[in-house]
């Protein structure tokens, strides 16, 4: 009888909480940056991530390699990667357990790790859910000077102190 009760407990727990992995083939993160002479975007289509799902999303973790962001200009990408000390800080990561729902909108109060520094960040997203998938879309702004002591320069002029981040994350149930 004791074994049956333990089995039922684990069975209930496994149905109540499930980890859902990000669909890398249909997810992306894009950053937009500006310089007095130009503006550009870089996109990353090789993101890792999971959500813990208990009838709703209760936790989320996203990770992206900096080297996988592509702006279409290899010289600019290489310069930014050198500046960001890619060997010491190869990833940008976000994690949240504080999630609030308002109809189709979700607020993630979490922690962003970038360039070896962790900062609290609130991200607003829209959510679409059906029987097969959960799609999260949103945007937020990142202030590079909160992570770097000086901003990267191109042609001796600093880039603007704002990155616009857009994301589309698809999780398959």
Asked whether residue 2 is domain-assigned, the answer is: no
3-state secondary structure of 5: helix
- Beta-carbon count within 10 A of 99 CB: 18
Q: What whole-number distance in Å separates Cα of residue 106 and Cα of residue 150?
A: 33
For the chain, the domain total comes to 1
Tokens representing 124 are: 């607003």
Q: What is the CATH number of the domain that holds 158?
A: 2.40.128.110
What pTM was estimated for this model as a whole?
Answer: 0.86
pLDDT for 159: 86
Asked whether residue 168 is domain-assigned, the answer is: yes
pLDDT for 16: 59
pLDDT for 13: 46
Q: Which structural domain range is residue 50 located in?
A: 18-172
Q: How confident is the prediction along the chain (173 residues), in pLDDT tens digits per residue?
A: 444 434 444 444 445 579 999 999 999 999 999 988 889 999 999 999 999 998 889 999 999 999 999 999 998 898 888 888 888 999 999 999 999 999 889 999 999 999 999 999 999 999 999 989 999 999 999 999 999 888 877 778 888 999 999 999 999 98
pLDDT for 3: 42
């Amino acid at each position: 009888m004791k074994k049956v009760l333990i089995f039922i407990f684990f069975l209930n727990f496994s149905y109540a909480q499930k980890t859902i992995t990000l669909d890398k083939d249909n997810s992306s993160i894009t950053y937009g940056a500006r310089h007095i002479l130009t503006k550009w975007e870089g996109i990353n289509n090789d993101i890792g991530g999971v959500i813990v799902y208990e009838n709703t999303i209760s936790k989320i973790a996203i990770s992206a390699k900096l080297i996988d962001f592509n702006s279409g200009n290899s010289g600019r990408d290489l310069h930014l990667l050198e500046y960001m000390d890619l060997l010491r800080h190869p990833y940008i990561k976000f994690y949240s357990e504080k999630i609030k729902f308002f109809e189709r909108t979700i607020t993630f109060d979490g922690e962003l790790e970038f360039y070896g520094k962790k900062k609290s960040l609130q991200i607003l997203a829209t959510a679409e859910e059906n029987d097969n998938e959960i799609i999260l879309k949103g945007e937020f702004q990142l202030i590079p000077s909160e992570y770097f002591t000086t901003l990267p320069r191109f042609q001796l002029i600093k880039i603007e102190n704002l990155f616009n981040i857009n994301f589309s994350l698809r999780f398959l149930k």
